[in-house]
Amino acid sequence: MHEKLTAVVWDFDGTLVDTRRKNMNVARALVEHFTGRSADEFPALRSLPSYERALHRHRHWRDFYRVELQMGEADIDRTEQSWLEFQLVDDTAAETYAGIDDVLAAFGHLPQGIVSLNVKPNIVRFLDELDLAHHFASVYGAECVQPGLRKPHPDALLRCIEGLTGGAPGFVVYIGDHETDVECAHNANSHFEQAGADLRIVSVGALYAPHIDDEHWQVEPDCKVNAPHEIVSELAQIFAALP
């Protein structure tokens, strides 16, 4: 791996941990609570494949709730405020994707962090349950930044990188399963370029969760992987081509 690689940052849901069913169950509970309608009335919530495909049709989670679940802005705001509460009372199990432990170990000599649209207490709970917490020096959840500064805005990613590396020159890897993650990395790179910083983010599109459709992504990552074990080898090829 490149000697100037200074840190690795991960998205959480769909990248490190398979939280698809849990998040769907939470969305079902939220829509029933705030609309009074059965979750089964919404095609996007009738099955896990339908939920996943619907999520990836939208660049922002609010668009998912607005379009797929027919919720107004006030109810979406209340949903956002209640997300942590509903996450913590839902007991749906979640597991890491096969091979993630090996990738985390391969990057064990580097500081690692998480930047996610999930909430930090929920992320930390899963990290503890799955014995992953020791890998991560920093975790940024949705509530760690102002609503207008969440992904794809780069604020959380920039703050995470500063905490992990002190802004040292070099390369940082950001791994995520959604176009929003790729766009966030691109926005952070634009920030570094405008600031004249000798720092660049290499983005990895994690496409190993089922039903991800990246065909219509408007922003492309530096590389895409179809299984966690490909992350290290794909990055090695990218860095080998660098001067």
| Structure confidence at residue 2 as a pLDDT band (50, 70, 90) | low
80 and 129 in a single domain? The answer is no
pTM metric for this prediction: 0.90
pLDDT at 243: 72
Decide if pLDDT at 146 tops 70. yes
Domain final residue pick, 89, 119, 146: 89
pLDDT at 81: 86
100 and 49 in a single domain? The answer is no
pLDDT at 213: 79
69 and 79 in a single domain? The answer is yes
Q: Tell me the residue range of the domain where 70 lies.
A: 20-89
74 and 137 in a single domain? The answer is no
Predicted confidence (pLDDT) per residue in 161-192, tens digit: 999 999 999 999 999 999 999 999 999 999 99
Terminal-to-terminal C-alpha distance of the chain: 13
How many domains does one find in the chain? 2
Domain final residue pick, 65, 89, 113: 89
Predicted confidence (pLDDT) per residue in 97-107, tens digit: 999 999 999 99
Q: Average of pLDDT values for 59-83? A: 91
pLDDT at 209: 87
* CA within 13 Å, CB half, 202: 22
Decide if pLDDT at 1 tops 70. no
99 and 26 in a single domain? The answer is no
Q: Average of pLDDT values for 45-58? A: 91
| Neighbouring C-beta atoms of residue 138, cutoff 10 Å | 18
